[in-house]
Amino acid sequence: MRPDSLSSLQPKGLNRILGIDPGSRLTGYGVIETSPRGVRYVASGCIRMHTDDFPARLKQIFDGVSEIIQLYRPDQMAIEQVFMHKNADSALKLGQARGAAICATLNQQVPVFEYAARQVKQALVGRGSAEKQQVAHMVKVLLAVQGDIQIDASDALAIGLCHSHYQQTAERLRQAMS
């Protein structure tokens, strides 16, 4: 079966979310599915940049995210917002990496949602100041993943889970208001 036919087989109420943890050397991704019955792990991994040429790395991010979208057919993409680095050059590179991922996503008509790191931590751990390892642990627990997950992929899954949480909360509020 071709990957592009998978989305037509998704039952009603099923929502596939792609989480992206952007980086200029390593970009994590995670794919989850949400349904009325809960959330399910689909896939995760990292896009590794194999060059020192920065524009070429941005193209690798764009191409990698495009390929992931074609393979997994997400309904939505969630990405972490840029936070201020002490190093301005690092912040600019991170912003450009985010831009490449966002452009690849919008190029395939997938809506993009952005979350601050504190929002992601709050949604998963209950504290916006949670440590990275606490977030990674909750990702494994919530998705019932056995074995190790690369930290960048875990962060991407966390962003996807955060988006799922905010979507469910918004839906409950809509239902309560109607």
Matching residue, tokens 């600019």: 92
In a domain, 6, yes or no: no
54-106 pLDDT tens trace: 999 999 999 999 999 999 999 999 999 977 667 888 888 999 999 999 999 99
Q: Does residue 4 form part of some domain?
A: no
In this structure, is residue 94 part of a structural domain? Answer: yes
| Count of structural domains within the chain | 1
- Residue 9 in any domain: the answer is no
What is the CATH number for 144? 3.30.420.10
Please give the model's pTM, rounded to 2 decimal places: 0.89
Catalytic residues: 21, 80, 152
Residue 158 in any domain: the answer is yes
Report residue 107 as tokens. Answer: 């190029």
10 assigned to some structural domain? no
Range of the domain at 168: 15-177
